[in-house]
Each structure stands twice: as C-alpha cells, then as structure tokens.
A and B are shown apart, each in its own frame.
Chain A
C-alpha cells in the first residue's frame, strides 16, 4: 500500500469520517511520501476551515420581519402600478386606433375626390342626367323631371344588361 498514494482516500469522503484503518494507512504512507504528507496536512486544514466557517451563525435582527413585510408591500404596490400602467397603455392604444380609423374614413369620404367611373355607370349617369347624391339631397327637384317613360327605360335597360 505504501507505493499507492492516498489522495483518493482523503478526497472520497469527509475528513472526519475516515476510519481508524484508513488513518493508519494514511500515516504509514505519509511517513514516506512527502507530497502526500503535504496533501494530508492541507486536507486536514481544509476540514478545519470548513468546520469553523459553518460554526459561525447569524441570528435575524429584531427588525428583519418588518423590513421583509415592507419590501413585500413595496413589491405589491409596484405590481399594481404596473398593472394599471398596462391597462392604461392598452386603452390608449385602442382609443388612438379608433381615432385613426375615424380620421381615415373622414378623409376617404370628404377629401379624396371620386375616381374615374366605370363606362356602364357613366353611361347610365349621362342618360339619367342626375347623380345619386342629387336624388338623395334634393328629392323634390327630381319628382317632376322623372317621367314614367324615363323610369321604364332605365328599368328595362338594366334588365337587358342583366340577361346579357
């Protein structure tokens, strides 16, 4: 065993749990092997350091609980503020999109001029000599002008177009 280094032995388990036979093996080997002797000394000091480290214990201060509760309230308040912020942002986005839609519709209705009419629609309009807007906005002006003949012509022309 003396030619076998003892590093695995001291690293495989805690220093305090080494059995008497294992300690004897270590002593026999370290008497002849200086590198293992240093390693064993370092391992024993490591063990001692760790014991000292864990022996030091702190107790909670008298105000610890109060401080944690205060942090908790702060965090909850921050979360609530964040939730309101999110709702406000969502509402603002919805409102602005609605305004944008209304503005777009207004522009399309009142500002952008009518585009070129299809040939069929232009022909019908020319024949009737009045527009839909005129009929709606000034219904009285057209009551007398629209004769029975023109109504029948318009209706039959539309039916013929449909059958074609």
Chain B
C-alpha cells in the first residue's frame, strides 16, 4: 500500500519495486495464454503500463496481487481478442511430432503424464494451436479452470464474470475443445498409412 502510494505520487523507484515483486506472477499468469515469450513479455509490459496509469483507482482494499491479476486477465483477454483467430485446425496442419504425440496419447495412455521435456513442448505447442481455434473467452476459461485447476469462484474474482457465466462458458468451451481434438483424432490417418 505504501509502495502504491509512493508510485502514485510519481516515485519511479517505488513502481520499479512493485514490478520486481509482482512481475514473476504476472509472467506466470500471462504464460497461460501465450506460448511465445515475446507475446508474454508484451502482455506483461502492457499490464504494468496500465497498472501505473490506474494506480489512482487502487484503493488498497484488496491485495495488490489480486488487483494486478485482474488487470493481467483483462489485458490477456484483450490481446487474445485482437489477435486473429485461426481457422479450424485440421490433421494436415499437424507436424510429424504432433501426430506422433496424438498417437501415443490415445485412449487409456492419456491418463499418464509423459515426462520427456521435448514431448511436453510438442504438446504445449499443439495445445496452443488447438486453443487458437477457439474464442478468447473459451481459451481463458479452459486455461484457468481445466489447465490451472482454479475454482469457479477464483475465476469469478479474476474475470469479474458472474458465476453462472463462468460455468456455462466452461461447459461450452470443453465441448468445443473436445470437438476440435476429436476431429483431429477422427480424421487422423493411421501410423501405417503415413509410413
């Protein structure tokens, strides 16, 4: 609160201290929405520039962390909205690695988390590409609830949406994500046919 007061009065070092304290969290949060470092940095930078402008509206009733999280959520959502939504992802758009990943994670094997970092990167990239075919609101709710295990109430606090909106959005987003993945699995040629 003291830091916020000083920063509001124009103390640049106080604002720098705020950035030092909270930038790891802002980066972690923005990383859930963008899979490229440059986009995450852009989002984080926008968050802090907005935070500086809106310091006057921070009354210190809640935590600064929560306040910054809300700004981060809205900033990321706006950036997702401004980004061009990708058309439907088809199996022909998949890389060889992504197809292999899908092959090896079909059925019951999906329950087991694989440990290879390279395979994780492939999965993260594929997830990003599938998510980009969904609306920003779908991406947000799926990432926060299904990816991060946040509760509906936590998402309500982060987004400012109503509880029912979060629930309905999550339900529909899961359906759309499942359908997008199912399409990839359904139209995927067998491994023997590809080789």
**Chain A interface (Cβ < 8 Å from any Cβ of B):** 7, 10-12, 14-16, 38-39, 41-61, 64-65, 67-69, 71-72, 75
Additional 17 contacts, C-beta under 8 A, given A52-B120, A72-B12: A14-B146, A14-B149, A41-B182, A44-B111, A45-B106, A46-B130, A48-B123, A51-B113, A53-B32, A53-B147, A54-B32, A55-B124, A56-B35, A65-B16, A65-B19, A68-B45, A71-B49
Cα distance A45–B40 when bound, in Å?
A: 25
Interface residue tally of chain B, by bracket? Answer: 35 or more
- Among A46, A49, A67, chain B packs the most CB atoms within 10 A around the CB of A49
Pairs of residues from A and B, 4 with the lowest C-beta to C-beta distance, nearest first = A54-B147, A49-B127, A52-B123, A53-B127
Chain A residues with Cβ below 8 Å from B16 are 65, 69
Shortest A160–chain B CB gap in Å is: 75
Separation in Å of the A39 CB from the closest CB of chain B? 6
- B180 shortest CB reach to chain A, Å: 8
| Interface SS of B by simple majority | helix
Kindly identify, within residues 1 to 53 of chain B, every residue whose CB is under 8 Å from any CB belonging to chain A. 12, 15-16, 19-20, 23-24, 27-28, 30-32, 35, 37, 40-41, 44-45, 48-49, 52
Instruction: Report yes or no: A56 in contact with B124, Cβ–Cβ below 8 A.
Output: yes
User: Could you jot down 9 A-B contacts, CB within 8 Å?
Assistant: A43-B181, A44-B111, A45-B105, A49-B126, A53-B124, A56-B35, A64-B19, A64-B23, A65-B20
Give the residue name and chain of the A residue nearest to B177 (CB): A46
Q: Find chain B residues with CB under 8 A from A55 CB.
A: 120, 124
CA distance A38 to B142 in the complex (A): 20
Q: Which of B143-165 contact A (CB under 8 A)?
A: 143, 145-149
B127/A59 in contact, CB under 8 A:
no
Of A7, A39, A56, A57, chain B has the most CB atoms within 10 Å of the CB of A56
Chain A nearest CB from B54 CB (Å) reads 13
A42-B182, A58-B31, A71-B45 given; A51·B147 CB < 8 A? yes
- With contact pairs A15-B146, A53-B35 given, residues A46 and B178 touching in the complex (Cβ less than 8 Å): yes
A138 to chain B, nearest CB (A): 69
Q: Is the CB of B124 within 8 A of A39?
A: no
> Dominant SS at the A interface?
helix
Kindly list chain A residues whose C-beta atoms are within 8 Å of the C-beta of B106. Answer: 41, 45
Q: Which residues of B contact A56 (CB under 8 A)?
A: 31, 35, 120-121, 124
Whether B175 sits at the interface, judged by CB under 8 Å, is yes
Q: Distance (Å) between the CB of A115 and the closest chain B CB?
A: 60
Closest residue of A by beta carbon distance from B48: A68
Contacts of B177 in A (CB 8 A): 46, 50
A44–B104 alpha-carbon span in the complex (Å): 13
Known contacts A54-B32, A71-B45; A11/B171 CB under 8 A? yes
B87 CB contacts on chain A under 8 angstroms = none
Chain B residues with CB under 8 A of A16: 149
Q: How far is the CB of A40 from chain B (nearest CB, A)?
A: 9
Asked whether any CB of chain A lies closer than 8 Å to the CB of B102, the reply is: yes
Contact B27 A59 (CB under 8 A): yes
